[in-house]
Structure 1
Amino acid sequence: MVQALVEDPGLDIGLRVALLNALAETGLPSITPWLMGFLRESRWRHLLARVWEQIRTLPPFLMQWIDRLTGLSTVAQEDFSRMLLQRQAIAALGLLRDRRAIPLLVRILKNPQVHPSLRALVPDALTAIGETKVVPELLTLLRDRGTDSMIRERIALALGTIKATSATQALLELLRDPMEDPFIQARVALAIGLMRDPSVALELVPLLRQENLPVTARRAIADALGTLRNREVARSLIQLLPEERIPASVRQSIADAIGALGASELGDELLWLLRDERIDPHVRGAIALTLTTLRHRPAASEIISLLSDIRIDPSIRQSLAESLGSLWDPSLIAPLTRLAHEVTLEPAVRQAIVRTLGEHGGPEAFSA
């Protein structure tokens, strides 16, 4: 009964989609063949759709005359509704985790005649099913620059989510390619991080220095290094922080990665870098945040001195003020109170200081 309602073109498409979702949430594998039926398109429907697209380029009076004779606009409208249902059907097949759907999903993914928005949903469905045998086919599409970028991004993330470590070397090749789309490289770096294979970290560090790689890709690589949790690379990363040839935004991400690695043994070296005014102010701000992440208490006074440094973005200084709680000591009350009264201080930074004083200083902070 419900299936018949979903297929009824006379019903509102929103209701039909909601009913399809409700069926999928039942988790009944018996509906898999029915869902797969939504994804099997006849050549006749594709031909009609292409014909209508050509007719729409004609003068309006001629288009309307042809439509009255053929009713093709109604077919086109139902095709749009059907595509919405197909999107939900792909997601539902992933939700059901029914391996019978895998061959059909792979055919859809590889078919350039299928709308990209539908194909881009397939990697997520395959991930939900947990299929790893399709990794070679996914890699083939990922390497093909003729594949829609949205699809390639979803494939990269799918490979990371299913922890397809057999694809690691292929992903590294994409990262090393200076001609590759930087947004694809960013997704590839994220995928490598999702695989949680610490041994890959040693191969990623040299890429941070690779000047022909886009900044977007290098920042994503730094983020992946933080995710991989291989503390062996922490000392190599700290050596990159003062390198002016590396863009400041990349070095900020490197500092964040050191914090994510929990490399507290590098606290004194980071503090030394924080004091070096030759280093870009924004990088110093990121180093300061890393020191609070690592709870390196000797850095507190240096961090307070940065709160009024107008060369550093106010949002970074606001975060620094809020993070001082992790280094809290009653001796911080007096200098923070003085800062809070500075008229030139940005309101957001001042408010962050007041919040920190309120949360950690107690009554003494407001009587100072």
Structure 2
Amino acid sequence: MVTEKEIELIGKTLVDSSQPLKSRFRALFTLRNLGGAAAIEWISGAFGDDSALLKHELAYCLGQMQDERAVPVLLRVLQDTSQEAMVRHEAGEALGAIGNPKVLDVLRLYSSDPVIEVAETCQLAVKRLEWLQTQKAEPSTSPYSSVDPAPPALEEDVGKLRAALLDESRPLFERYRAMFALRNLGGEPAVLALADGLKSSGALFRHEIAYVLGQMQHEASVPQLMAALGNAAENSMVRHECAEALGSIAKASCLATLQAYAHDKERVVRESCEVALDMYDYENGVDFQYADGLSKMQAEG
């Protein structure tokens, strides 16, 4: 049984800006795994930080927890136009992940936000909530244990799914469904089909493609992810996700690129590479789990 004092100590690591970002990330994911009101309170309290990357991950974790107690803070973040686009986007996606239809009116309002990534995210969240209302249940569990912004399509033909993924005339929700169907199918043909999506228009879409490729951890996507990370003209929201994907894939071919872009002029890219290098070390090391804030604290005690 985890005590309130233990959660407090992990929470203090999360909100302490003097701590290395990698330690704060591990604390965050520990709190996500622990769940409960106290964990949500600590995560919610970190939205005043000056790291857009950290705040993006705060919102992501609150969505993945699917605890309705996180709805008020996520609404505030979405509505706060002083927050970075990638943070507001993730708050909108998290509200869709939690699945409470009471937020539909707000999501519909922000579906016309002047920031395109925020608008498109809210449009997707509305579609997800409407889909849940018709299905009366969450999609079947993802093989990656993630709550996704769209249910996977039922199609299983890689060629047809690739065509749907890359068809920019289709509604975004349908393309996302093709994306998650390809991810769930797995294998190199599906990976390469998804990697082709990194050439699509729309930063939000490319960002999600990179996230999915990171989940799959297949080395076949490394060249495309490296190219996108190395493209200074690419949206930093996409480059950040490519860096984290390379850290998750954690092959030797990823290391030099992550080390090089750990000095990028874009803060969110630099920080993503820092976190990705920690993920690389975890994937290639002996640590039992990435979210090890509790075990480290107990060992120190």
With the length of structure 2 as denominator, give the TM-score of the two structures.
0.44
| Higher RCO, 1 vs 2 (CA within 8 Å, ≥6 residues apart) | 2
Please say which structure displays the higher CA radius of gyration: 1
| Structure with the larger helix share | 1
TM-score (norm. length: structure 1): 0.37
